[in-house]
Amino acid sequence: MLTINMAVLLALIVILRLRRRTEARSRKDEKLTVAIVLVLGVLLAPTAFGQSILGVVSQLADGITQASR
């Protein structure tokens, strides 16, 4: 039985949707893209990959905060 990881499928959909030209998108199309990205984030958050991304972003935010002081 072949299974597809839902996060990988959503990531592929996001990449394909973001490759389109911005001028060709409607508001509904943009809202759908945002919803897909949010669901992708929820799926990735509890994984080890999601936690590593969170660590990198946290370190980046801390570095920017320290640099602005």
Q: For 52-66, what is the mean pLDDT?
A: 87
* Mean pLDDT of the 22-29 span: 78
CA distance 33 to 35: 5
| pLDDT category of residue 17 using cuts at 50, 70 and 90 | confident
Q: Is residue 5 part of a domain?
A: no
Q: Between these two residues, 66 and 4, which has the higher pLDDT value?
A: 66
Question: Measured between alpha carbons, how far is 34 from 8 in angstroms, rounded to an integer?
Answer: 16
In a domain, residue 27? The reply is yes
Structural tokens at position 55: 């660590």
The number of folded domains in the chain is 1
Average pLDDT estimate for 36-60: 85
Over pLDDT 90: what percentage of the chain?
A: 1
Average pLDDT over residues 54-69: 86
Q: Which domain holds residue 57?
A: 11-68
36: in domain = yes
- Asked, for residue 6, whether it belongs to a domain, the answer is no
Examine residue 1 and state whether it is found in any structural domain, yes or no. no
Q: How many whole angstroms separate alpha carbon 24 and alpha carbon 30?
A: 10
